[in-house]
Amino acid sequence: MKEKYYITTPIYYPSGKWHLGTCYTTVVCDAIARFKRMCDMDVFYLTGTDEHGQKIEKVAQEVGIDTKLFVDKQVSTLIDLWKRLDISYDKFIRTTDSYHEEAVQKIFNKLYEKGDIYKSEYEGWYCTPCESFWTKTQLVDGKCPDCGREVELTKESSYFFRLSKYQDRLIDLIEKNPDFLQPKSRQNEMLNNFLKPGLQDLAVSRTSFKWGIPVPFDEEHVIYVWIDALTNYITALGYMSDDDSLFRKFWPANLHMMGKEIVRFHSIIWPAILMALDIPLPEKVYGHGWMLLGSDKISKSKGNIIDPIVLSDRYSVDAVRYYLLREIPFGSDGIYTNHAFLSRFNADLCNSLGNLLSRSCAMVNQYFGGTLVKGTTKTQFDEDLLNSVDSLFGKVEKNIDKLLIPEALQEIFNVVNRANKYIDETAPWILAKDVAKKDELANVLYNLIDTLRVVGIVLLPFLPQTARKILADIGVNEPTLFENTVVSGKSVEGTVIVKGNALFPRVNMEKELAAMEKMAQETEQKKVEEKKVEKTEVVTTEVAQTAKKEINIDDFDKIELKIGKILTAEKVEKSKKLLHFTVDTGDRVRSIVSGVAKYFTVEEMIGKEVIVVTNLKTATLGGILSEGMILFADDGDSVVTVEPSKTLKAGSTVS
RNA sequence: CGCGGGGUAGAGCAGUCCGGUAGCUCGUCGGGCUCAUAACCCGGAGGUCAUGAGGUUCAAAUCCCAUCCCCGCAACCA
């Protein structure tokens, strides 16, 4: 009986914005899943989408599309993306799938009957126009974060999950099973910030929106994300359905992989739900770092291409997979820059790997007419090379088990580099000049092809297309298992070796960087235009957020805008973002606090003329009274002041 | 004193737990080679291991103490 392996990504929220970060988790899981399959394990790899909730409902309404149609559309682009990236998931779950909805209702019932879910009141701030509840921390200056209007403290009836009941068991879990939550830094984070201070019961239903799974015995309520989304890991296996054979076979999960931002839900709420259901806990929850957008020295933060489709179109899917798998170290963040991407591409994929294949195949063709011959005359360098080939798989396997993905790839490339060195050591072109050395030459070339065979096979889980191309060129059938294939000496004499096209065509760094920057700018331009023109057609939640409701002239007339002259400016102590200004607005000198310390120095602000909202209700920021607001323009990358085109008297009106 | 992570060669990082010649990748410079995708191989230069003529020690990047700086999260972004 095969050993089972169940691995999951989180289910993604279909907001329509998929970029490198979204791909990272999925590609890593894919590599692991493929690897385990080739280790002869029975693998189940799950991914999917979390489609319910207010945000989706609202966006769909605004566009006037049926909510289900809206998510269908979003999901299909995601599935296309996974196809593009060669993601080999075994199942794609959608929380709108009927089997999931039914199972969630049963789970909710079970917890309710057990007494772990109870009805009570949920206190929050309610924004009537938006029909939304907000917690105190979500409020912006005590107002609705969406529309900025007043909110009122309201009680809403809600079902609660007894999270507090499981607090001690959760602390135990994390403290006594250091393997459960990885990397270790997350353990402290969870213990110190959430578990030790005490857990509160969790509101698991809402009445403020309808786009969700109804509470089975109370139609007013829909089940909130916690129980709806997290349970996908078991409902996907048929838990609580007529056929739960997969559940019995694969649960508990061996690995829940996710970004560090949602570790909290998976290491606290999810185990608590499982405890309440009396189901075994997953073996491991792993919160990986993020792929951050770095900044190339020259181009600042601009011009980095983060659209995986664009990158894979231009440089191949495996170039993208390789970068993702190679650049994010265990437990911390990786940085994406065009330069780093191209650097990896050229140095590793083109120069080391591609060129090794190219030169090896070329020599077999040149010296032996393209037929593999196994010589018997060994060289003094054989042993070292073959040792590195024979020990490769073990090293990679060890790293994969510890989730050290970049290190696993490093091991593979170490062998590639060793092989390149072997060519130099044995100098086949010299052997070729001496007829007496023909057998030794055959041996050298055999060892090279044999090394490429093992490298190709071990690369299959990581770079499937590349690995297949390598194997095809050297006439090897793609194996389904590692067993018996990842040791030296298994190449078959007489195999036809082809010298095919370059695996990865080397790029000119400077030209390519310039081209990428240009592409990025064009994409950016397009995005801006799309936002302007297609407000109704292509909708993402992002667009919905930036577009404000229409107002009439009277609304606008309520705002008093004046030209002000900045007299003094200083940083607000204890705050990173706040600057404190005194501004002459004609009528008087005002104290104004703005959150722009990141963008301006104190010196450059003094003496500037700016536009000020002078009839804004005063507020206290960073302990300082702010009597108005200075207008700034923001394009997402930079923030600038808005100034009159020529100097005016302070107090001049703006309308 | 909010929580956490970090400061090691031009860039990105390892080494720190368990003190003992400071290492890897990229870049750079020089050499070699010509099978190969101007690729490959070898070698050099480049580091007061944030600071403190701090403490412990025969010995500190590593352990202890103090300080400074950076980055996340939280709070505040009118």
Evaluate if residue A608 carries a pLDDT over 50.
Answer: yes
A455 neighbors A416 (Cβ within 8 angstroms) = yes
pLDDT for A294: 53
Question: What is the pTM assigned to this prediction?
Answer: 0.79
Across residues A13-28, what is the average pLDDT? 77
Please provide residue A224's backbone torsions phi and psi, each rounded to the nearest 5 degrees: -80, 170
Q: Closest nucleotide to residue A596 (Cα to C1')?
A: B77
pLDDT for A540: 29
Residues 133-162 of A with CB under 7 A from strand B: 137, 140-143, 148
pLDDT for A538: 30
pLDDT in tens, A304-341: 556 788 889 999 999 999 998 888 776 667 777 788 88
Tell me the CA–C1' distance in angstroms for A328 and B57: 38
Q: Closest nucleotide to residue A617 (Cα to C1')?
A: B78
A281 touches strand B (CB under 7 A): no
Q: How confident is the model at residue A527 (pLDDT cuts 50, 70, 90)?
A: low
User: A229 versus A621: which is more confidently predicted?
Assistant: A229
Tell me the CA–C1' distance in angstroms for A505 and B60: 48
Evaluate if residue A393 carries a pLDDT over 80.
Answer: yes
Residue A89 burial by CB count (10 A; 0-12/13-18/19+): exposed, middle or buried? Answer: buried
pLDDT for A338: 83
- Per-range mean pLDDT, top range of A8-22, A291-305, A449-463, A520-534: A449-463
pLDDT in tens, A415-430: 999 999 999 999 999 9
Q: How confident is the model at residue A263 (pLDDT cuts 50, 70, 90)?
A: confident
Tell me the CA–C1' distance in angstroms for A185 and B17: 14
A428 touches strand B (CB under 7 A): yes
Q: Closest nucleotide to residue A622 (Cα to C1')?
A: B76
How far is A51 from A70, CA to CA, in rounded Å? 10
How far is A429 from A433, CA to CA, in rounded Å? 7
How far is A561 from A632, CA to CA, in rounded Å? 13
A576 touches strand B (CB under 7 A): yes
Tell me the CA–C1' distance in angstroms for A332 and B3: 17
Evaluate if residue A272 carries a pLDDT over 80.
Answer: yes
> Of A92-101, A492-501, A515-524, A557-566, where does mean pLDDT reach its minimum?
A515-524
A189 touches strand B (CB under 7 A): yes
**Would the CA dihedral through A363, A364, A365, A369 be positive or negative?**
positive
Coil, strand or helix: which one is A156? strand
Residue carrying the six token digits 């790899």:
A45
Q: Which residues pair with A43 in a beta bridge?
A: A5
pLDDT for A15: 64
Please provide residue A481's backbone torsions phi and psi, each rounded to the nearest 5 degrees: -130, 155
pLDDT in tens, A78-88: 999 999 999 99
The interface predicted TM-score (ipTM) is 0.86
Q: Cis omega before residue A505 (within 30°)?
A: no
Evaluate if residue A172 carries a pLDDT over 60.
Answer: yes
Coil, strand or helix: which one is A244? coil
Protein footprint on strand B: which nucleotides are under 7 Å from a CB?
A: 3-5, 12-14, 25-27, 32-42, 74-78
Instruction: Name the protein residue, with chain letter, whose CA is nearest the C1' of B76.
Output: A622
Q: What is the mean pLDDT of chain A?
A: 83
pLDDT in tens, A488-505: 999 999 999 999 999 999
Residue carrying the six token digits 């007894």:
A162
* % chain A with pLDDT above 90: 44
pLDDT for A535: 35
pLDDT in tens, A373-386: 999 999 999 999 99
Please provide residue A323's backbone torsions phi and psi, each rounded to the nearest 5 degrees: -60, -45
How far is A469 from A116, CA to CA, in rounded Å? 55
Residues 342-361 of A with CB under 7 A from strand B: 343, 346-347, 350-355, 357-359
How far is A71 from A49, CA to CA, in rounded Å? 9
